[in-house]
Amino acid sequence: MINNFNQFKQIVQNTRATRRFKKDFKIKKDDLIDLVDLARVTSSGKNMQPLKYIIITDENIKKEVYKPLVWAAHLKEWSQSKDEKPSAYILVLNDTTIDGFSAIDSGIAMQTICLGATIKGFSSCILASIDKEQYKKLFSLKSFLEPMFIIAFGKKDEDIKLVDIKDNDTNYYRDTQDCHCVPKRLLEDILI
């Protein structure tokens, strides 16, 4: 049992949405299976567990999955280059035959997966900007399986830091050193 809060805090702080990945870095399918197995035991409303997962490591499928993704909508001047693409993905699906709380369960599951990825030594980015219809066709999904989010994984190739929010502006940005800065609200502003 891990009982060091500061270590856990570091893992949480290092689990940042990452969008520039190292080229040609391989992630083993077994590592992603481990992460889905973590998600499997997370909390679930009424314990209904409506979520299903597809692990994507195949090069051809990765190309198709990548096409509709929208990266960093706030960074108008930047687009991901072909050398910065992720190494693998997990697609998160809602099984609509199960009357659960998929919107909430998916957040809990995805954060757990991302924390696990950090511990395993790679980085992640949750993306909501997917093309659900395209993915349904791509994976020949039964009509009751609804794509919700995709999580991209890879080896981080950028500096990312948390910064205190200024003027209530939550937009992330890159500073003059090309470091990706993520403004967070202050503790005193969120403790009511």
Ligand X SMILES: Cc1cc2nc3c(=O)[nH]c(=O)nc-3n(C[C@H](O)[C@H](O)[C@H](O)COP(=O)(O)O)c2cc1C
Binding site for ligand X (CB under 6 A): 16-17, 19, 70-72, 125-129, 172, 182
CA distances (Å), origin 141, targets 110, 144, 151, 166? 21, 8, 18, 44
Shortest Cβ distance from residue 104 to ligand X (Å)?
A: 12
Burial (CB < 10 A; 0-12, 13-18, 19+), residue 158, is middle
Cβ atoms within 10 Å of 185's Cβ, excluding its own: 11
Nearer to ligand X by C-beta: 36 or 125? 125
Rounded to whole angstroms, the Cα distance separating 47 from 45 reads 5
Shortest Cβ distance from residue 37 to ligand X (Å)?
A: 21
Alpha helices in the chain (DSSP H): 5-14, 29-40, 59-66, 102-120, 132-138, 187-190
Nearer to ligand X by C-beta: 137 or 184? 184
Rounded to whole angstroms, the Cα distance separating 20 from 105 reads 27
Shortest Cβ distance from residue 84 to ligand X (Å)?
A: 12
Nearer to ligand X by C-beta: 11 or 72? 72
Indicate the angle between helix axes 102-120 and 5-14, nearest 10 degrees: 100
Nearer to ligand X by C-beta: 153 or 172? 172
Nearer to ligand X by C-beta: 16 or 100? 16
3 state SS of 32: helix
Shortest Cβ distance from residue 30 to ligand X (Å)?
A: 25
Shortest Cβ distance from residue 71 to ligand X (Å)?
A: 4
